[in-house]
């Protein structure tokens, strides 16, 4: 069983708004990544060089801030057809969709989407906004994911993209979802970094189906950010957030992670087995 990177941004960056793309432009890897975005085979070669077996390709719809539209779902579905064993397609449905529950079913059945992303700071709503009547469509989205056993990845923590509303990045806003949809698998992306690590850790310990995913945190600093992590290694997922701002290379991140003073079984769980549980291989 190989390593899974649970958070990679293979996204249609040509759809980004110029001011959002400028953030990637200064820190991103440039021309080489553009080739990966257009040619899955080249990206798979890159994963081989990094020592990574599988990558979860996190795509989402956020027209008002980053600029991604529903075409992101078609993009990631098509991309992952190159190797569904190694590439896991994650897409998204906005709660304002006319029939969000049916759309989740369509993404799973027709496009082969295997997880849903919710990005509250970029999508401009709280993940629990079904509880106060602001985004009632969220209830249908979570219910459909629970029924279809699709994990939901929720961005927790801040974002530096223009227009982001970071008040929606608090992990505690996800607690309602964990309570109301107890069979739903929830991944707290970025573990609430840099403001709310303790909240994210609390939820992952408290709820059997809530996982803590550590992408975006410099791996060498992981145990500073999450001092309790060694006691929760069956609920932690490795991810890089590559090629997001400040993340140069997946292989470098992986090597830094392996240098942490964790027992080998814990490293094995975080890099491979936990991800197999949350993102199982494609059904035959
Ligand atoms: Zn991300």
In a domain, 284, yes or no: no
What parts of the chain have a pLDDT lower than 50?
27
Please answer whether residues 214 and 254 qualify as being in contact, where contact means their C-beta atoms are separated by less than 8 angstroms. no
Measured in angstroms, how far is the CA atom of residue 80 from the centroid of ligand 1? 18
In terms of residue numbers, what domain contains 237? 4-278
Measured in angstroms, how far is the CA atom of residue 215 from the centroid of ligand 1? 7
Residues with CB under 5 A from ligand 1 (ion): 241
In a domain, 49, yes or no: yes
- What pLDDT shows up at residue 25? 61
Measured in angstroms, how far is the CA atom of residue 58 from the centroid of ligand 1? 7
Measured in angstroms, how far is the CA atom of residue 121 from the centroid of ligand 1? 12
The per-residue pLDDT for range 202-245, each reduced to its tens digit, is 999 999 999 999 999 999 999 999 999 999 999 999 999 999 88
Tally the domains of the chain.
Answer: 1
In a domain, 178, yes or no: yes
Report the distance separating Cα 5 and Cα 89, nearest Å: 13
Measured in angstroms, how far is the CA atom of residue 239 from the centroid of ligand 1? 9
- What pLDDT shows up at residue 284? 52
Query: Residue 53 is part of a domain; what is its CATH number?
Result: 3.20.20.140
DSSP string, 96-130: TSSSHHHHHHHIIIII---EEEE-HHHHTS-TTTT
Report the distance separating Cα 20 and Cα 34, nearest Å: 16
Q: Does the predicted TM-score (pTM) go above 0.85?
A: yes
- DSSP state, 167? G
- What pLDDT shows up at residue 262? 98
- What pLDDT shows up at residue 30? 73
The per-residue pLDDT for range 66-81, each reduced to its tens digit, is 999 999 999 999 999 9
In a domain, 283, yes or no: no
Measured in angstroms, how far is the CA atom of residue 242 from the centroid of ligand 1? 8
- What pLDDT shows up at residue 282? 85
């Amino acid at each position: 069983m190989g390593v899974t990177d649970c958070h990679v941004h293979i996204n249609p960056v040509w759809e980004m708004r110029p001011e959002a793309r400028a953030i990637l432009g200064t820190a991103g890897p440039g021309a080489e990544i553009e080739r990966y975005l257009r040619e899955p085979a080249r990206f798979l070669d890159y994963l081989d060089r990094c020592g990574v077996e599988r990558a979860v390709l996190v795509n989402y719809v956020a027209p008002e801030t980053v600029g991604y539209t529903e075409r992101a779902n078609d993009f990631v579905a098509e991309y992952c057809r190159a190797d569904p064993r190694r590439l896991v397609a994650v897409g998204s449905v906005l709660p304002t969709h006319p029939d969000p529950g049916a759309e989740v079913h369509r993404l799973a059945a027709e496009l082969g989407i295997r997880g849903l992303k919710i990005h509250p700071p970029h999508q401009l709503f709280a993940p629990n906004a079904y509880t106060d009547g602001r985004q009632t469509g969220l209830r249908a989205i979570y219910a459909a994911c629970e029924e279809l056993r699709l994990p939901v990845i929720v961005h927790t923590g801040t974002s530096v993209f223009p227009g982001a509303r970071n008040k929606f990045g608090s992990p505690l806003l996800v607690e309602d979802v964990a309570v109301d949809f107890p069979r739903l698998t929830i991944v707290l992306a970025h573990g609430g970094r840099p403001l709310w690590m303790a909240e994210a850790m609390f939820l992952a310990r408290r709820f059997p189906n809530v996982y803590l995913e550590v992408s975006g945190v410099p791996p060498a600093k992981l145990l500073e950010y999450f001092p309790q992590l060694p006691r929760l290694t069956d609920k932690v997922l490795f991810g890089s957030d590559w090629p997001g701002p400040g993340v140069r290379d997946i292989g470098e991140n992986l090597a830094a992670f392996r240098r942490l003073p964790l027992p080998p079984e814990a490293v094995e769980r975080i890099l491979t087995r936990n991800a197999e549980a949350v993102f199982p291989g494609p059904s035959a």
